[in-house]
Structure 1
Amino acid sequence: MTSFRPGLCSVTFRKLAPRTIVRLAAECGIEGIEWGGDVHVPPGQPDLARHVRRLTENAGIAVASYGSYIAPPSDDEDAFASVLDTAHALGAPNVRIWAGSRNRDSATYSTEERRDTAALIRRMARRAADASVTLGLEYHPGSLTDDLASAQNLMAEIDDPNVFLYWQPRPGLPLAEALDELRAIGRETSHVHVFAWDSEKARYPLADQRAYWSEILTHVPATRWPGERFAMLEFVRDDSPEQFRADAAVFHQMLEEARKRPSGADRSL
């Protein structure tokens, strides 16, 4: 079992300013924030990135990651260079990217396209390593990590120690399948995104899926990831700060229970 620190993805509150997000996160005991590159810290704005870093660190919260929307092969190494510079200004030790063109299913890629995408991600990973930054691939539908086999094949094709997988369940994924997936790829994972959705992407209070997430957080396998791991709340019902407060309280309870509960107490992997 891996111990996670409580985190938040800033994209949960795209309509809120960074200062408001930091205040809310601190109030709710969040220890790390992944700042999104679409609204809160766009690439190519280092002064803004430094400002958000100060806000975050002055509140006693870590910058856990930079959630970029780089999507190789749609985005090239020059685009990634701007993201990496912004991550440096933000103080982010990790950059999250999209694996493949956005909203394109893995089954539609040819062997050559997969090979070229893996090579491009590898070059980005080497550039990130030179800057002492790790690279995380979004584990997500409509990408080259949209199912277990494709994600495993992609990681094998990239074959770079600086590349990791951000894991999250596909919306509606049954618990048994989620645990099997984690068992298969757990060594490659870094952080985990936590949300309460169903297969239609309807959102619910985290308390409604407490049993599901308690099992996952208890049984996440050991990993080669070198740093501290965050389980990050991502999206809440109605984008509501009040719902986030309620979810965060449940979240802390789950993390504490997972720390105290022996792995395999109720379910063996």
Structure 2
Amino acid sequence: MKTGICSITFRPMNVGQVADLVKTAGLDAIEWGGDVHVRPGDLTAARVARRTTVDAGLEVSSYGSYFRVLDKEGRAEAFQPVLDSTLALETNTVRIWAGYSASAEVSEDVRSRFAEQAQRVAEMAAASGVNIGFEFHDHSLTDTNESAAKLLQEIDAPNVYLYWQPMYQGPDMDYRMAGLHDLKDRILNFHVFHWEYDGSKELWIDAVDRRPLSEGQAEWKQYFSVELPPRERYALLEFVRDDDPKRFLEDAETLKAWLEGTVK
């Protein structure tokens, strides 16, 4: 398991600043985000990010896009610009999202159309040697263990995987661990953070409390204890307390210690 960061953790920073910070942290890689640092189809930005990453002695783990297969009106979104940026970054992984709506709100007809279009996207990616990783996230077709597993079956493509992260909004550890075990053959990378969530708050920004990663040691030791099929994968830090680079450096030390086995 290699280590890295999602560049969206520090959206206000430029590409060089992000790379310098990750180098200082002693991590391995950067997932470049598609909303600020490397917008879809901006191949110049992608090539600059790639060169800056390599010059810092780092790897590009993946392209963190916000492609969702179908738009809110159910029309196919354009994947080619996303794929072009992935290839310009010289990575073989692109992260995408499983739609805009919670799985419980999506009809079987819409699911079927989503899976059909996702199959086309997977074929385009496979032709270029690219793997797809769906974000395991609320308000999407991967918002539960069951819906995520069903979606993978519906798409049925060998280059389609999941990014895994803990669902902080409610499911308990037993549910999270069950999902990890059930989905382990299709887990590509991890998004790593430790948040506490207060469901009584009306606004999401008020409900989420980003905590130091070290406070999540008991949970993450269990997550990382699950034996996954051998392949190159990344544990990517995503967001930190107060968006503070110093907090990030602390979290990076925590993550490295966990994966190196120096914390018992």
- Normalising by structure 2, we get a TM-score of 0.91
Task: Determine the C-alpha separation between the residues in 2 that align with 1:97 and 1:145.
Answer: 11
Tell me what 2:218 maps to.
211
Tell me what 2:187 maps to.
189
| Structure 1 residue ranges without an equivalent (≥5) | 262-269
Task: Determine the C-alpha separation between the residues in 1 that align with 2:241 and 2:191.
Answer: 15
Could you report, residue by residue, the CA deviation over 1:141-162 in whole angstroms, capped at 9, with x for unpaired residues?
A: 0000000111111111001101
Deviation at 1:255, TM superposition (A): 0.8
Tell me what 2:111 maps to.
114
Deviation at 1:76, TM superposition (A): 6.0
Task: Determine the C-alpha separation between the residues in 2 that align with 1:76 and 1:247.
Answer: 40
Task: Determine the C-alpha separation between the residues in 1 that align with 2:11 and 2:119.
Answer: 30
Residues 1:241 and 2:245 aligned together: yes
Moved over 3 A (4+): 75-78
Is the CA contact 1:18–1:40 (under 8 Å) kept in the aligned structure 2? yes
Deviation at 1:177, TM superposition (A): 2.2
Deviation at 1:257, TM superposition (A): 1.4
Task: Determine the C-alpha separation between the residues in 1 that align with 2:106 and 2:32.
Answer: 30
Residues 1:138 and 2:129 aligned together: no
Q: Secondary structure at the match of 1:213?
A: helix
- Normalising by structure 1, we get a TM-score of 0.90
Deviation at 1:178, TM superposition (A): 1.6
Is the CA contact 1:77–1:124 (under 8 Å) kept in the aligned structure 2? no
Matched residue type, 1:255: L
| Structure 2 residue ranges without an equivalent (≥5) | 198-206
Deviation at 1:59, TM superposition (A): 1.2
Q: Secondary structure at the match of 2:78?
A: helix
Could you report, residue by residue, the CA deviation over 1:215-265 in whole angstroms, capped at 9, with x for unpaired residues?
A: 21122x323x7x41001100000111000011111111111118x98xxxx
The number of equivalent residue pairs is 252
Is the CA contact 2:69–2:77 (under 8 Å) kept in the aligned structure 1? no
Larger RCO: Structure 1 or Structure 2 (Cα < 8 Å, ≥ 6 residues apart)?
Answer: 1
**Sequence identity percentage:** 40
Q: Secondary structure at the match of 1:95?
A: strand
Task: Determine the C-alpha separation between the residues in 2 that align with 1:218 and 1:131.
Answer: 33
Deviation at 1:191, TM superposition (A): 0.2
Deviation at 1:175, TM superposition (A): 2.5
Tell me what 2:176 maps to.
178
Deviation at 1:176, TM superposition (A): 2.5
What is the alpha-carbon root mean square deviation over aligned residues?
1.7
Matched ranges for 1:23-102 at <5 A: 23-74=20-71, 79-100=78-99, 102=100
Q: Secondary structure at the match of 2:61?
A: strand
